[in-house]
Structures are given as C-alpha cells and as structure tokens.
Structure 1
C-alpha cells in the first residue's frame, strides 16, 4: 500500500478484476447464487491451477507453499 491517493494502491486488485472479467466474461446468470458459484469456481481455478507470469509461471498456491517451506528452513 502506498500513500493515500497513490495510483498504486489498488493496482493488484484492479488487475485481478480485469482478469476476472476477461476470463469469466460478462455473462448474465439466472440468479445471484449462480453468479456466486461461478466466481468461487473461478477463484479456485485462479489460485490452484492458473499459472501467473509474475510468479515465474507458478500458481499462487505453489508460491505460498514454497514461501512457507523457506520460512521453516530459516527458523
């Protein structure tokens, strides 16, 4: 987080939502529950299966697990 009014404050969130809109589309769901299920399914894919170029083409889960292992080795 930067200072108040910094253009970088929401960069990660804005990038995520742009990706969400691109990959899940702007469908119209029959109900709010259907839309919620679709978004949660996408979140599972995003965190466990989708490769991220900023993470050296690993998933966020892989990166998180390797970070925790690195911390355990240091301690």
Structure 2
C-alpha cells in the first residue's frame, strides 16, 4: 500500500493507521503488510513499514498493538 499525504502530515500516524486497517481487515491469507507513506511536496520525507505476520516477532508486535486478527 502506498499513501501520498499532504505536506506536514504526521507520517508515522498515517503509517500506523494503514497497518492497523490491514491487520484488522478480513483479508485472507495475509502474507505480508507493506506500507509506504510519502509527503506529496517533499518525496525525501517518507516512512515505510514492512511486516510478515507469519514471523513470530511481527505477529506478536501486531497482536500487542492492534489485537487479534478477525476470523
């Protein structure tokens, strides 16, 4: 998922919300989560997150932060 945001937007907040939306969705199977957020006026200002829910450490991080995946 790629998001382009308005200048001055809180990149980390957008990144966090995008990851939350994917994690709490009913997408199945969910092999990986890749989110990139870029400032529309300053492409050098960006944030990225890559997670693999099949990896124990990533799954633990996601469950601690957003709760279990829906069934």
Q: What TM-score comes out, normalization by structure 2 length?
A: 0.35
Which structure dedicates a bigger proportion of its chain to helix?
Answer: 1
Larger Rg: 1
Which structure dedicates a bigger proportion of its chain to strand?
Answer: 2
RCO comparison, higher one (Cα < 8 Å, 6+): 2
